[in-house]
Amino acid sequence: MVKNNNENDKLLLLKKMIHEGIRSGRAENFDPKKYLETLKMQKKNKPNL
């Protein structure tokens, strides 16, 4: 399967971002439950377009 340049660019960018995330290390003082609640509130308060 041959990919066009745009797909290759997107794939390279995705790989770069994944590696940056891995190199950044573990998050400190992160509460996943609190973060999930924040996301839910943002979604609830966001008007439907």
Per-residue model confidence as pLDDT tens digits over 7-21:
999 999 999 999 999
Is the model's pLDDT at 2 over the cut of 80? no
Whole-number percent of the chain with pLDDT over 90: 73
DSSP-derived secondary structure letter, 46: S
Helical segments of the chain, H only = 5-24, 32-45
- Cβ atoms 39, 32 nearer than 8 A: no
What confidence score (pLDDT) does residue 4 get?
A: 84
pTM: 0.50
> For residues 32 and 7, what is the distance between their CA atoms, to the nearest angstrom?
33
Mean pLDDT across 21-40: 94
